[in-house]
Amino acid sequence: MTVLLGVAFTLLTLGSCWGHQPDRLDQEPELAFQPSKYGSLWPLPQKVQISEVSFKLSSSSFRITDAKESAAGPSCSLLQQAYRRYFEYIFGDVKTQNVNKGSRKGPAELLELQVWITSPDSECDGYPTVSSDESYELSVDQPVSVLKAPKVWGALHGLETFSQLVYEDEYGAKSINATSVSDFPRFAHRGILLDSSRHFLPIKVILSNLETMAMHKFNVFHWHIVDDPSFPYLSRTFPDLSRKGAYHPYTHVYTPTDVKMVIEFARLRGIRVVSEFDTPGHTQSWGKGQPDLLTPCYAGSKPSGTFGPVNPILNSTYTFMRQFFKEVSTVFPDAYVHLGGDEVDFTCWKSNPDIQKFMEQQGFGQDYRKLESFYIQKLLDIVTATNKGYIIWQEVFDNGVKLKPDTVVHVWISSSANSEMSNVTASGYTTILSAPWYLDYISTGQDWQKYYKVEPLSFNGTEKQKNLVIGGEACLWGEYVDATNLTPRLWPRASAVAERLWSAKEVTDITDAYSRLSVHRCRLVQRGVPAQPLSPSFCPHEYKGV
Ligand SMILES: *[C@@H]1O[C@H](CO)[C@@H](O)[C@H](O)[C@H]1NC(C)=O
Ligand SMILES: *[C@@H]1O[C@H](CO)[C@@H](O)[C@H](O)[C@H]1NC(C)=O
Ligand SMILES: *[C@@H]1O[C@H](CO)[C@@H](O)[C@H](O)[C@H]1NC(C)=O
Ligand SMILES: *[C@@H]1O[C@H](CO)[C@@H](O)[C@H](O)[C@H]1NC(C)=O
């Protein structure tokens, strides 16, 4: 395998030249490359056995087909499109491929991968959910390999695994070893958060990120779509929100068509799109297009001209939220909407005499957390009425707001994450973890190791509590991220999170991980993803720019 040899050789030759980096001691250790018995699979399947029997694959004869017995036939365009995608990933640009054809006699040729959806309802036309069956079984053998999955979601993952088993031999020809895989995710919710408010993210960069997510079996795109700096979501009901709150009313907005495109592109890759509309804080941009929504702040006895969080004491606020979230519930098909609720600054509320009066009437004393809870409680009722479930940042739970039993609490504060995970699950709520995975914090060196070593269930709690952890998300906040640097900053650092959330708990061998990840990263580069390097080394097919 030229890929493996290349990386190994380079590490050996450069081993003595790690110079000019006085602060290396703070960093994760450099690791030595040894070919893994799992090849370059990433994330590692639950059960996999790769034999030493290898077959050739050629673009002119290899086919991906529907098994006769499959519940999803040619009319399932989700699968047909995936076959085409993976054929192209496996063989690259077919025009330049045939050079090697027939140049070598020897191993038998693998001719066909049959895809067999085994349950009567393939879910081909549905949306993935938190309880989707993502399992699959793959048997690579000659002349016919079989990929079996109850639903299309597992088939998508199995196709990715199949494509990762293909490698180039020393003559540049494609080979694959006889292999058997039985696979399913450890956690149901495996997400990436992108922030399109601090910087506008063009649709193209969002779509290519979804593509890369699918290569890692990530299944949730958490779209932190609006925030203080800008409101790019074009609302049909309240068009002034983006007209006045986006960085630019035409070029820096997501139209209803754009949003639809993102959702469908994600669905075709087994990815849910969970939108976040964070309130009552983080809402400066909302105020520009919706008068009276935000609280006027006071300087002494006069309004200062600045505004704080959403004004929780006006009926008009709730009328607005009711209409707004009604729209959101129809635009985004996912069963959950993320309602934020983090980092509410009370200074402005405290300065406002009307708010003070309201606090007194309600008997809240000086406890502004009670006012926040008053607002959130009403918002949760509004969203419940749209038949959606909700995800909220941990503060909402911390402030004692009454939550529906199926609420998902999103834990992000890293200093107390273990204690918070214990508390949230002890109260019976499901939870997702992001605290250790804020990928917008950067450092040099192999920081992926830090993300890799996280064990989401390391908190104190009963088995029942641990079962309430449905997964986690890697977050890439957008203060210093736009289309120029998003992909290399996220990948392959987020790849570490992908394996932690998919693979078995026991998969913790960091040296084996490094060996697989090095080759996986080169595969990303070969597929056109500008994923940043892990260490001094080279890829057989370097990134060529766009
Ligand atoms: C695949 O087969 C080849 C040829 O027998 C062998 O050298 C290689 O180690 C195998 N790959 C893996 C990952 O087992
Ligand atoms: C707001 O609505 C409540 C409940 O419907 C009502 O009692 C109250 O008078 C309203 N306040 C204003 C200022 O309209
Ligand atoms: C969890 O609950 C305990 C007991 O009430 C409390 O002492 C601790 O501060 C809580 N942890 C967090 C992160 O809020
Ligand atoms: C678990 O609880 C024990 C005993 O109360 C404590 O010493 C330990 O630090 C806790 N571990 C974590 C990860 O919170």
Cβ(158)–Cβ(138) below 8 Å: yes
Alpha carbon of 4 to ligand 1 centroid (Å)? 11
Helical pair 493-502 and 510-526, crossing angle rounded to 10 deg: 120
Determine how β-strand 63-66 pairs with β-strand 430-433.
Answer: unpaired
Ligand 4 contacts CB of residue 65 (under 6 A): no
pLDDT at 32: 87
In whole angstroms, give the CA distance from residue 53 to residue 57. 13
Residue 111 and residue 144 in contact, taking contact as beta carbons nearer than 8 Å: yes
pLDDT at 170: 75
**383 in helix, strand or coil?**
helix
| Pocket lining: 364 vs ligand 4, CB cutoff 6 Å | no
CA 439, CA 343: separation in Å to the nearest integer? 19
Q: What are phi and psi of 96, to 5 degrees?
A: -90, 0
Residue 256 alpha carbon to ligand 1 centre in Å: 49
According to the model, what pLDDT value does residue 485 have? 97
Query: Are residues 185 and 134 in contact, defined by beta-carbon separation less than 8 angstroms?
Result: yes
420 lines ligand 3 (CB under 6 A): yes
How far CA 385 is from CA of 39, 42, 321, 322, in Å, comes to 50, 41, 12, 9
DSSP state of 314: -
Contact 479 CB / ligand 1 (< 6 Å): no
> From the CA of 292, which ligand is nearest?
2
Return all residues near 108 (Cβ < 8 A) that are at least 6 apart.
55, 56, 142, 143
Protein residue with least CA distance to atom 9, ligand 3: 419
Atom of ligand 3 nearest to the CA of 413: 13
Give the whole-angstrom CA distance, residue 215 versus residue 495. Answer: 9
* Residue 416 in contact with ligand 3 by CB distance below 6 A: yes
CATH architecture label of 189-527: Alpha-Beta Barrel (3.20)
CA of 54 to the centre of ligand 1 (A): 7
Assess whether 343 carries a catalytic annotation. Answer: yes
Q: d(Cα 206, Cα 261) in Å, to the nearest integer?
A: 11
- Residues 254, 256: Cα–Cα separation, whole Å: 7
Q: Which residue has tokens 């754009």?
A: 258
Q: How far is the CA of 291 from the centre of ligand 2 (A)?
A: 19
Asked if 91 and 172 touch (Cβ cutoff 8 Å), the reply is no
Q: Which ligand is nearest to the CA of 165?
A: 1
Distances (CA, A) of 364 to 99, 294, 368, 371, 477: 77, 20, 7, 7, 34
* Extended strands (E) in 184-300: 189-195, 220-224, 272-276, 294-299
Residue 95 has what pLDDT? 52
Determine if ligand 3 sits within 6 Å of the CB of residue 399: no
Atom of ligand 4 nearest to the CA of 419: 14
Nearest Cα residue to atom 7 of ligand 3: 419
* Count of C-beta atoms within a 10 Å radius of residue 31: 19
Chain position carrying tokens 């402005």: 348
Q: Can you read off the two tokens belonging to residue 466? A: 């641990």
- Indicate the top mutation candidate among 416, 423, 425, 460 to test ligand 4's pocket, ranked by most ligand atoms within 8 A of CB: 460
Q: If the chain, 546 residues long, is cut into consecutive pieces of 10 residues, what is the mean pLDDT of each piece?
A: 38 40 62 94 98 94 96 95 97 58 64 96 98 98 95 98 93 92 98 98 98 98 98 98 98 98 98 98 98 97 97 98 98 98 94 97 95 95 96 95 91 97 98 98 93 98 98 98 98 98 98 98 97 94 85
Task: Compute the chain's Rg from CA coordinates.
Answer: 25
8 Å CB contact between 122 and 145: no
**All residues at 6 or more sequence positions from 374 whose CB lies less than 8 Å from its CB, including other chains:** 312, 362, 364
| Cβ-based neighbour number of residue 479 at 10 Å | 9
Domain regions of the chain by residue span: 47-92+107-183, 189-527
Q: Is 48 helix (H, G, I), strand (E, B) or coil?
A: strand
Ligand 4 touching residue 460 (CB < 6 A): yes
Which ligand neighbours the alpha carbon of 418 most closely? 4
Q: Give residue 18's region: left, alpha or beta (phi > 0; psi -120 to 50).
A: beta
Cα(508) to ligand 3 centroid in Å equals 29
Decide whether any atom of ligand 3 lies within 6 Å of the 419 Cβ. Answer: yes
The reply to whether 189-527 shares the fold of 47-92+107-183 is: no
For the Cβ of 54 lying below 6 angstroms from any atom of ligand 1, the answer is yes
131 three-state secondary structure: coil
- Within its chain, how far is the Cα of 493 from the centroid? 12
Cα separation, 546 vs 395, whole angstroms: 42
| CA contacts within 13 A on the Cβ side of 171 | 14
For residue 172, the CA-to-ligand 1 centroid distance in Å is 15
Atom number of ligand 1 nearest to Cα 38 = 13
Q: Which residue has the tokens 């293909």?
A: 166
Residue of the CA atom closest to atom 7 of ligand 1:
52
What is the reported pLDDT for 411?
Answer: 98
CA of 188 to the centre of ligand 1 (A): 32
What is the number of H-type helices and E-type strands within the chain? 18, 17
Whole-number Å distance, alpha carbon 460 to ligand 4 midpoint, is: 6
Pick the ligand that lies closest to the CA of residue 35: 1
pLDDT number for residue 11? 38
* Distance in angstroms (rounded) separating the CA atoms of residues 130 and 335: 9
- Find out whether the beta carbon of 37 lies less than 6 Å from any atom of ligand 1: yes
**Lookup result for tokens 């941990």:** 394
In words, the CATH class of domain 47-92+107-183 is alpha beta
Amino acid at residue number 531: A
Question: Per the residue annotation, which of 343, 360, 455, 542 is the catalytic one?
Answer: 343
CA atoms within 13 A on the CB side of 210: 25
Report how far ligand 3's centroid is from the alpha carbon of 421 (Å): 10
Find the length of the chain. Answer: 546
Phi, psi of 295 (to 5 degrees): -80, 125
Q: Is the omega angle on the peptide bond into residue 107 within 30 degrees of 0, that is, cis?
A: no
Q: Would you say the CB of residue 459 lies under 6 angstroms from ligand 4?
A: yes
Residue of minimum CA distance from atom 10 in ligand 4 = 460
Give the distance, in angstroms, between the CA of residue 325 and the centroid of all CA atoms in the same chain: 23
Decide: 177 in ligand 1 pocket, CB within 6 A.
Answer: yes
**DSSP structural state of residue 109:** B
